[in-house]
Amino acid sequence: MGMTEDMADELARDVLKAIEVTGDEELFGVIAKTLAESSQTAEEAFLTAFRVRRANAKARALLIEKLQKFKAAKAGAAAARPDNVPPKADDA
């Protein structure tokens, strides 16, 4: 990435951490507006980095949730199987 994207990405990471700590979702808009007042390029890079990081975090959380549910269902099915019945080939 170039300097602008690197700086915007670092700021986006910091803002996401600050929002996580404070719960202040408005912080994103305040920072974006501040950037826009002095550099449209910096604002656009920040908006992109922030949105990509937020979307990625949501997608990862969903993936983790789905995998946990799958593993729990698989463990439940294995626990319900009688000991004398061998597992199917695709359960291994």
pLDDT at 63: 98
- For residue 6, give the H/E element and its range: helix 3-22
pLDDT at 76: 85
- For residue 41, give the H/E element and its range: helix 40-80
pLDDT at 86: 64
Q: What is the mean pLDDT of each run of 10 residues along the chain (92 residues)?
A: 94 98 97 97 98 97 97 86 66 53
Q: Where are the domains of the chain?
A: 3-77
pLDDT at 91: 55
The size of the chain, in residues, is 92
Our measurement of the distance from residue 47's CA atom to the centroid of its chain's CA atoms, rounded to an integer in Å, reads 16
CA distances, 8 to each of 30, 35, 44, 61, 71 (Å): 15, 10, 9, 23, 38
